[in-house]
């Protein structure tokens, strides 16, 4: 498995397994076990997914040692503020059955994310978190946070896929040596990704599916990906992308699929801000 070296020297697997919207805890536990069995070593969860306990149980039930797993969680917006964030991470550690976390992200760029981030900095200093970062921080808020905190975010997890490639955002991340990580690397199936003609045609040349081409494109662009599935066969398919390389011409064709807009949520829309504000009120 390829790894990416974060700005603090920590190595992070370039492909991992995400558990967003795996709400049934028994299903989530089994999915984590299956993913680890397939070969995934990065597991990505969040307080706001309400399945950390199942993730912890899945890791504990697997044959893979904890030290060989890169475990990520995220602090939910209702847990922002120094005291609440501190308590919430203690709870996450218990649910995940571990005494340290490899990566913790601030999940949303609203409310008191400065207070939350300060907790991550302090826990990083204590060695309880190996790397810290953010999620969904667009360039303005990302630069603001990066300039006024002690520790530069190691990761920014953003909606990133062939239809929304985040080229402009990456210019700012590169300035701080912050690694981009994709949530929704398959665009949640939107825009007809699984049958998209360009991806399908390129895939046929490599005996791969459109989704495998979409994932491989991101990895060749230096993006960390965390595709999700509850089906072991699909997990394996998503994992089998490291035995082929897209040509320069194919990369150009896929780059042209970029619509420069979200398929899921626009963080610049004031109504999106109100949506997240409701989680705090």
Residues classed as catalytic: 49
Give the number of other CB atoms < 10 A from CB of residue 91.
Answer: 14
Contacts of 140 (CB under 8 A, 6+ apart): none
Nearest to 113 by CA among 155, 141, 73: 141
Retrieve residue 235's tokens.
């997990």
Region of 4 (left: φ > 0; alpha: ψ -120 to 50; beta: rest) is beta
Retrieve residue 268's tokens.
């610049």
Residue 182 has φ and ψ, to the nearest 5°, of -95, 125
Nearest to 158 by CA among 188, 181, 178, 142: 181
Identify the bridge partners of residue 178 per DSSP, sorted by sequence position. none
**What DSSP line would sit under 134-202, residue for residue?**
EES--HHHHHHHHHTSSS--SEEEEE-BTTB--HHHHHHHHHTTPEEEEESTTGGGGGGGGG-HHHHHH
């Amino acid at each position: 498995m390829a790894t990416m070296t974060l700005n603090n020297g920590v190595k992070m697997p370039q492909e991992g397994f995400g558990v967003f919207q795996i709400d049934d805890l028994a299903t989530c536990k089994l999915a984590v076990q299956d993913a680890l069995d397939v070969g995934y070593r990065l597991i990505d969860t969040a307080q706001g997914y309400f399945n950390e306990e199942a993730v912890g149980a899945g890791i504990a039930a697997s044959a893979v040692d904890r030290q060989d797993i890169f475990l990520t969680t995220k602090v939910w917006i209702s847990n922002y503020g120094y005291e609440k964030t501190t308590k919430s991470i203690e709870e996450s550690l218990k649910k995940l059955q571990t005494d340290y976390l490899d990566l913790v992200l601030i999940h949303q760029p609203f409310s008191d994310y400065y207070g939350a981030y300060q907790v991550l900095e302090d826990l990083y200093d204590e060695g309880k978190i190996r790397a810290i970062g953010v999620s969904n921080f667009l360039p303005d808020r990302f630069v603001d946070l990066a300039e006024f905190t002690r520790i530069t975010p190691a990761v920014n997890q953003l909606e990133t896929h062939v239809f929304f490639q985040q080229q402009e955002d990456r210019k700012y991340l590169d300035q701080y040596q912050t690694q981009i990580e994709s949530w929704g690397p398959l665009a949640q199936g939107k825009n007809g990704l699984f049958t998209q003609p360009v991806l399908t045609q390129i895939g046929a040349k490599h005996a791969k599916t459109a989704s495998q081409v979409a994932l491989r494109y991101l990895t060749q662009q230096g993006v960390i990906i965390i595709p999700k599935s509850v089906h072991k066969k699909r997990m394996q398919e998503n994992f089998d992308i490291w035995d082929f390389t897209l040509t320069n011409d194919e990369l150009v064709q896929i780059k042209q699929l970029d619509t420069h807009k979200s398929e899921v949520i626009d963080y610049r829309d004031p109504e999106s801000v109100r949506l997240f504000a409701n989680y705090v009120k």
